[in-house]
Structures are given as structure tokens and as C-alpha cells.
Amino acid sequence: MDLLVRMPLARQIFLVASTVLVAVTAVLALLPVRISSPPGAADLATVLGALAVVLLTIYLALRRLLAPLHRLAHAMETVDPLRPDPGLREWVAPDDRDVDQLFDAFEAMLERFRVERLHSDRRTAAAQEAERRSVAGEIHDEIGQTLTALSLQLERATMDGDQRELAQRTVGRALRDVRSIAHRLRPEGLDDLGLVNALIALCVRVQDESGLPVLRDLDPLDVDLDPDVALALYRIAQEALTNAIRHAGATRVRVTLRSDDDGVTLRVADDGRGVHGPVPGVGGIAGMRERARLVHATLELQAGDPGTVVVCRRPPREAGA
């Protein structure tokens, strides 16, 4: 059987059909079978029975030979192009040579699709970040300057003191909101000061704006992170903090950053309600997973005691490249 499955598929089919025909011919030659002319009912039954046996034998043999192709078609319909099953080949056709060649072509197609999808998603993410920076700059420079000028004009305006104070408080609040939006769109100091300092600024700003205590445990990084990796980790921390404030009902959050031989690990743990049931495939969590995937990192949601722990691990550059 091992020798048979290593043959080309066409040769396997020819060999099986030839074997069946030879066996039928031998049986007819050895058995004392006579067909009268014209054939009677018994003769027709004999011929039809032999034909049925031949056809059934050929059908069962072809079904056995073509089963790997059916399994390959099923795999093509169900496989996740971004995360294919490493044991798929053994399940589809561990020894069949022709199907093995088809599977090689299928895997090569999946790899080309994965690489092209990765590059396309990275270009999209880069374009989104460039647009964020552009919008943040316009908000900070144009709207911020306009509100600042309005605040100065209010100081010189001839109006009741209480009204002036109320208007100035409103303008000041609007100015703080504008600056907060600009900071969320554009990471503070990430390019110039590095990931650790950017995370410190993020934690301080989130705590000041929300009143939620944000504890920091950030190790200095002993490796130079790629800008894309640093940006992804920053955005994941930012989204995790946002979820803790808006959805978890947390009373405190801890942001941890570690760097060792296994790479860089970011943890954001809150003491809120936690995640119950299946994780949604859209929204903030899906966005965090996507950012992690683009830089060859993994993202897990773990149950805290209480709360939720978001863990993002980026292996060393050699392993994650």
C-alpha cells in the first residue's frame, strides 16, 4: 500500500482498473460459465451481477484513491489563511505524492497571501498613523491656538466679571479637551524619548484625566525596539487603559513592561468586572490583536483576581522576523 500511494495518481487509477479487469477475466476463464444465444434470464443475471461487482470494486478503489483530494478541498474551504494548522498535511495526505505536490502549491499560495496581507495591513496602519498625526497637529495648532486667542480676548472684553470667569472656564475646558484629543491621536514623545517615557506620559495623562490610579512598573528596555513595535505596544496599552476606564469599572490599573531573553512583554491589569463569554471579534480587543499580529507579537486576555489582564508578548527580533 505504501508503494501504491507513492505512485502518481494516474498510475494508481490505471493499476487498480487493470487489476480488476484481469481478476474478472481470470474468474470468467476459470469458471464454467456459458452464455446461450439468445441469452436467458439466468445468463443476464450472471452478466449483470459480474458487471455490478466490477463497477463497485472500481468505485470503492477510486473513492479510496481520491479521498486525499476531497480532504484537500475541505482544507481549502476551512483553513484560516493567517493561522493554518501545522498538522494539516498529515491529515490531508501523509504519503500521497500527487496530493503532496498539490499541498505544496496550496501552502505556497497561503504563504504568499499571508505575506501580502501582512504588508497590506502594515501599509494601512502606517497610513492611519500618518493621518492621526496630521489631524492631531491641526487640532493642536489651529483649534488650540484659536481657543488660546479667544481666552486672551475674554480677558480684555468689557463684560461682567462673573460672565467673563464662566466663559474663561468654558474655553479652558475646551482647550484641555482639544489637547487631550491631540495627545491621544499622537503618542507623546514616542519617537524622541522612547517607549518607556511615552508609557509614563500616557499613564500620568490617563490618571489626571480620569482620576483612576494607574500604577507603573516599567523596566528600562535593554533592546532597541523597531518603531513599529514600539508604536504597537503603546497603542495596545492605550486601548487597554481606555477599556479599563470605560467598560471595566476598575478602581486601579497596573501597567507593566518587561524585557528579557524572551523578548518584550507588556501587561495591563485592572481590577474591574473582567471579560465574560466569548471575546468580540470587533472593537478595541480585535484592534489590539490586529496591532499585535502586524509586529509578530501575541496578545492574550487573562482572567485577573479580579479583573482582566491584557498580555502582549513580542519575541526577540530573530524569532519574530
What CATH number does residue 239 fall under?
Answer: 3.30.565.10
Share of the chain above pLDDT 90, in %: 11
Instruction: Name which of 244, 241, 247, 239 is nearest 287 in CA terms.
Output: 239
Specify whether the CB–CB gap between 248 and 270 falls below 8 A. Answer: yes
Out of 71, 100, 116, a domain closes at 116
Residues 92 and 208 in one domain: no
pLDDT over threshold 70, residue 281: no
Number of domains observed in the structure of the chain:
2
From its phi and psi, is residue 249 left (phi > 0), alpha (psi between -120 and 50) or beta? left
Average pLDDT over residues 82-109: 71
pLDDT attached to residue 188: 66
User: Greater confidence, 32 or 199?
Assistant: 199
Average pLDDT over residues 203-226: 86
Residues 103 and 21 in one domain: yes
pLDDT attached to residue 319: 46
Average pLDDT for the chain: 77
User: Greater confidence, 281 or 65?
Assistant: 65
Out of 83, 116, 149, a domain closes at 116
Q: Please indicate, yes or no, whether the overall pTM of this predicted structure exceeds 0.95.
A: no
In a domain, 86, yes or no: yes
In a domain, 298, yes or no: yes
Specify whether the CB–CB gap between 242 and 222 falls below 8 A. Answer: no
In a domain, 263, yes or no: yes
Out of 91, 116, 141, a domain closes at 116
State whether residue 215 is helix, strand or coil. strand
Which residues have CB under 8 Å from 280's CB, separation 6+? 286
In a domain, 148, yes or no: no
In a domain, 173, yes or no: no
Structural domain that includes position 71: 2-116
Residues 193 and 275 in one domain: yes
pLDDT attached to residue 67: 77
In a domain, 67, yes or no: yes
Residues 205 and 300 in one domain: yes
